[in-house]
Structure 1
């Protein structure tokens, strides 16, 4: 069977730019602050960058590959921020009698503060079957951008709720659920994350600008969407 890959959306679908107070920015220039791979709280800074990437590859030697990431990155006041979240899954060389399953899921939570912060947010996923009849391949990227007038730090209750969602994401990723059901269940976890973040924002100090929680979601999968 020939290689199949869904056409990628244009870059405009992948890149979402926003600026507090309704301004648009062309991007983030001069961003050079490194960020730890997992949850981190950064000191106040002028610019910040974060990148998270999950990749899974299933083939005849490794019929099932399932990976996920759940990162929390909290920044203080920033003038500019560039954040990228990506998930890629590949199934290759298997058959209907010898199926492969590849799952890659990435949840990224980023918080920042500032009255006029230039934000460049990129969130994308891609699932590909390469000569793989009957294989199940799913890639999902979920990016949560939290913007507040003043810096916030998640309290213990918020952390516990997010940790619980992370544990359940791990379980779903490694489950044998059909791809269509898995998508629905993962979407449910994303909705829970959004709810927890909205509650945290509601308890944050108030300012002239309204706080916001924005979810960027991209799912790609075989068979079907």
Structure 2
């Protein structure tokens, strides 16, 4: 599901073994994030969450990737496993004429009857034609959401409930980012091709 919003409504990547982080080189920004969990008979409950903010600044283009991977392996129906991976990636970029975004999730039960396995990847991209940075107040609120995400992925609620809470949290993040963009003074545009600020959510669950 992809929803792009220009300050009006709802709007959210990483290869195997990637290390979370971001960098800007020669005008190109890169952001990578991944949450990965794996449950098995020796470790029947496993959880991982990422909530990362990347402020790329002014860039010509950006490649951003976010991924959540959850796997349950070899548990029995009598002693099932539970594996939950949730990754929230927030990226801000100014003047990016080209944006390559990837957001994926994968949840696998491998010979694991009755196991609960859930992966959710949520990618939030804020693109503006003028210089934009998150205020400390906005970052403080995002930190509150980060703590809520950590509590959610460790909860023992049914997977359907976890998914619903994750969606609700994502909607709150979008609303916060929309307000942050709307309330930022608009300076001169650094890229005349990108005339409107956008808040975009990419959501993939499995």
TM-score by length of 2: 0.84
In the alignment, which residue of structure 2 is the partner of 1:213? 199
Contact 1:75-1:151 within 8 A present in 2 as well: no
Secondary structure of the corresponding residue to residue 29 of structure 2: strand
Does residue 148 of the first structure (1) align with residue 134 of the second (2)? Answer: no
| Offset, 1:45 | 5.3
d(CA) in 1 for partners of 2:118 and 2:179?
A: 30
Per-residue displacement from partner, 1:57-112 (whole Å, max 9, x unpaired)?
A: 00000000011000000012111100000000000111221010000000000000
Per-residue displacement from partner, 1:107-165 (whole Å, max 9, x unpaired)?
A: 00000011x51000000000000000100000000000100112211112101110000
Contact 1:69-1:105 within 8 A present in 2 as well: yes
Q: Which runs of 5+ in 1 are unaligned?
A: 1-12, 19-35, 221-225
d(CA) in 2 for partners of 1:146 and 1:77?
A: 12
Aligned residues: 185
d(CA) in 2 for partners of 1:64 and 1:165?
A: 23
Structure 1 residue ranges (4+ consecutive) displaced by more than 4 angstroms after TM superposition:
42-45
Contact 1:150-1:205 within 8 A present in 2 as well: no
Q: Which runs of 5+ in 2 are unaligned?
A: 5-18
| Aligned CA-pair RMSD | 2.0
Change (3 A) 1:43 1:123: closer
TM-score by length of 1: 0.77
